[in-house]
Amino acid sequence: ILLNNKWQGMVRQWQESFYEKRYSHSNMQSGMPDFIQLANAYGIRGKVIAPNDKLNIQQELIDAIFTPGPCFIDCQITKEENCYPMVKPGEGNSEMVGVDKPADIRN
């Protein structure tokens, strides 16, 4: 399953969160491969699921999952969809944003 916001998602998220929305070379709409044709070229069924389709998204996912053989699902999401946890620039993995801090085990 590809969660496709047509951007380099984490790069766009960093540009939005830490660089005052100065987007640079992270929009992939121009030049983005046709993932369904690419999947078909390898003999894999491909399916696009978009939130603006008048489809039952849950049923579409079930149909794709229970298709015999592999199925590539291009699940289109909004540009603004963010991914957490994430690490701020210059910080370590122990300082992630979007997760609760672990309890101090010494207490």
Using alpha carbons, select from 33, 55, 36 the residue that is nearest to residue 47: 36
- What per-residue confidence (pLDDT) applies to 40? 96
Residues of the chain with pLDDT under 50: none
Contact 97, 28 (CB under 8 A): no
Strands 45-49 and 2-4: unpaired
CA distance 92 to 88: 8
CA distance 28 to 48: 17
Average of per-residue pLDDT values in the chain: 84
Give the pTM.
0.71
CA distance 78 to 81: 6
